[in-house]
Amino acid sequence: MNWKQIDRNTRVQHNGVYTVWKQQISNECFNQCVYCSIHENPWGGIDHYHIDHFRPQSKFNALKNTITNLYHTCPICNKFKSDDWQNEPNDLEIICYPDPSDHNYSNLFTIDTTNYTLEGRYVSSRYLINRLYLNRPQLVYERREHFLNLKANALIEESKKLLELTVDIDLVRTASKIKDNLVQLLIARKNIVPYKLLDIKKPKKKKA
Ligand SMILES: [Zn+2]
pLDDT (tens digit per residue) in 46-58: 889 999 999 999 9
Q: Residues 150-166: pLDDT tens digits?
A: 888 888 888 888 888 88
Task: Name residues with Cβ closer than 5 Å to ligand 1, which is an ion.
Answer: 33, 35-36, 74, 77
Distance from the alpha carbon of residue 157 to the mean position of ligand 1, in angstroms: 32
If DSSP states are collapsed to H, E and C, what string results for 106-168? HHHEEEECCCCEEEECCHHHHHHHHHCCCCCHHHHHHHHHHHHHHHHHHHHHHHHHHHHHCCC
Residue 31 clears pLDDT 80, i.e. is over it = yes
Distance from the alpha carbon of residue 40 to the mean position of ligand 1, in angstroms: 9
Query: Which run of H or E residues covers position 52?
Result: strand 50-53
Distance from the alpha carbon of residue 62 to the mean position of ligand 1, in angstroms: 25
DSSP string of 165-202, one letter each residue = H---HHHHHHHHHHHHHHHHHHHHHTT-----GGGGPP
Distance from the alpha carbon of residue 48 to the mean position of ligand 1, in angstroms: 11
Distance from the alpha carbon of residue 78 to the mean position of ligand 1, in angstroms: 7
Residue 185 clears pLDDT 50, i.e. is over it = yes
Choose between 205 and 41: higher pLDDT: 41
Across the range 174-190, mean pLDDT stands at 82
Distance from the alpha carbon of residue 177 to the mean position of ligand 1, in angstroms: 39
Q: Residues 56-65: pLDDT tens digits?
A: 999 999 999 9
For residues 120 and 143, give the distance between their C-alpha atoms in angstroms, rounded to a whole number: 16
Q: Residues 122-145: pLDDT tens digits?
A: 999 999 999 999 999 989 988 988
Across the range 173-181, mean pLDDT stands at 87
Distance from the alpha carbon of residue 185 to the mean position of ligand 1, in angstroms: 28
Distance from the alpha carbon of residue 67 to the mean position of ligand 1, in angstroms: 19
For residues 146 and 112, give the distance between their C-alpha atoms in angstroms, rounded to a whole number: 13
What is the per-residue pLDDT for 70?
Answer: 98
What is the per-residue pLDDT for 159?
Answer: 84
Distance from the alpha carbon of residue 191 to the mean position of ligand 1, in angstroms: 20
> Please, which pLDDT band fits residue 7 given cuts at 50, 70 and 90?
very high
Distance from the alpha carbon of residue 88 to the mean position of ligand 1, in angstroms: 21
Q: Residues 14-24: pLDDT tens digits?
A: 999 999 999 99
Across the range 75-99, mean pLDDT stands at 97
> Please, which pLDDT band fits residue 194 given cuts at 50, 70 and 90?
very low
Among 47, 54, 89, 85, smallest CA distance to 68 is for: 54
**Global confidence as pTM:** 0.82
Residue 104 clears pLDDT 60, i.e. is over it = yes
What is the per-residue pLDDT for 190?
Answer: 67
Q: In this structure, are residues 31 and 41 in contact, taking their beta carbons and an 8 Å threshold?
A: yes
